[in-house]
Structure formats: structure tokens, C-alpha cells
Amino acid sequence: MTISPALAVPDVPHGHVLASVLRSAMRQRPTGVAVITTRDEGPVGFCATSLTSVSLEPPTVCFAVAVGSTSGRAWRRAAHGIVHLLRSDQTAVASTFARSSPDKFAGSVGWRWGPRGQPLLDNVLAWMLVGTRTRLVVGDHLLIVCDVREAAVEPGPGPLIRYDGGFHTCQQFLTEP
């Protein structure tokens, strides 16, 4: 599998000001929170709000990860991983995987080795075993397109939502002014 560079788009302004405005604009878009894990020398994972469903036939999703991060380096080689959709009561899990730290799997995060030897988090709303189809470097991120190989949905509270830099439950998000 090759990693392709992004195609350059001419005459697109770049810089800190545009990046800051884009970050502010994207924080206004509520999205579900996912933790995406794989295995490198040990378990690695990160909190993602970039998860997108691409296709139902074949089942395909994509996500982006910072190129220079521990997870980004692992996903340059990873053949498989697990996408976890977090429950509304898993703010602590999301916060753990949102920070840069080598010990995300230590402490109170419950997990076990899942299908194909990838880290599988406990008590999530849903999870998907994914196989890497395509990798594409886009700016400072690596876009990963994956085939969904296996999935499970567990009953429980609604999803955890990321909005305006914070974590929210659906109920909080719907009732806050």
C-alpha cells in the first residue's frame, strides 16, 4: 500500500489566520466522538472527530490523524485498527485519548486485545474493525480510508458529542442555550 501526496490546489491562501478561522468554524460543527486504536510496538490510539462514513457497499469509513503524532506514525504502517464510538458517559476516556501522552492505555481505561490483535475499548456505544485501504498525506494530516471488516453496536446511553471545544451529551447539547 502506498502513501500518496495530496494534489496541490493553486491560489489557495495559507497561513495562521486562515487556520485559526477554520478551527473556529469547525468547532461550531457538532460531531460524534470516536477513539481510533491500532497496534505498533504497543497499543496506540487517539480521539477523533474526523470520522466519516464513505460507503455502505462496500462498507467504508475514513478519518484523519496528525502525521507527526504517535498514532499518525503507527497508521503509516497499520493494516488494521478499531474505531470506537464513545458513549455519553465516556468523557474521561475521550479526554485521555485527546491528549498527547504515551500512557493512554494505562490507568482507568478498560480495554482488551480485540480481533486481529488491535486494542478494543470496553463499554463503547459501537466499534468497527477496519482494514486500511488507502493512505493520503493532506497537509499535516494523514487521511486513512478503511474497509469495515467487523462491527458491533451495544445498547446504552446516547453518543458523546464534541462541540465548541468541549464534550457534551445529546441531552446537554439539545437543552443548552
The pLDDT value recorded for residue 157 is: 86
Q: Is residue 146 part of a domain?
A: yes
Q: Is residue 17 part of a domain?
A: no
Confidence of residue 164 (pLDDT cuts 50, 70, 90): confident
* ∠ Cα 94 76 22 (to 5°): 55
Instruction: Tell me the DSSP string of 57-90.
Output: TTEEEEEEEETTSHHHHHHTT-SEEEEEEPBTT-
Rounded CA-CA distance 170/109 in Å is 23
Residues 137/126, Cβ–Cβ less than 8 Å: no
Q: Is residue 4 part of a domain?
A: no
- Taking only the tens place, the pLDDT of each residue in 69-103 is 999 999 999 999 999 999 999 999 999 999 988 78
What mean pLDDT, rounded, does the chain reach? 87
- Note down the domain range covering 145: 31-175
- Taking only the tens place, the pLDDT of each residue in 105-135 is 987 899 999 989 999 999 999 999 999 999 9
Q: Is residue 151 part of a domain?
A: yes
Domain count for the chain: 1
- Residue 124 belongs to domain with CATH number: 2.30.110.10
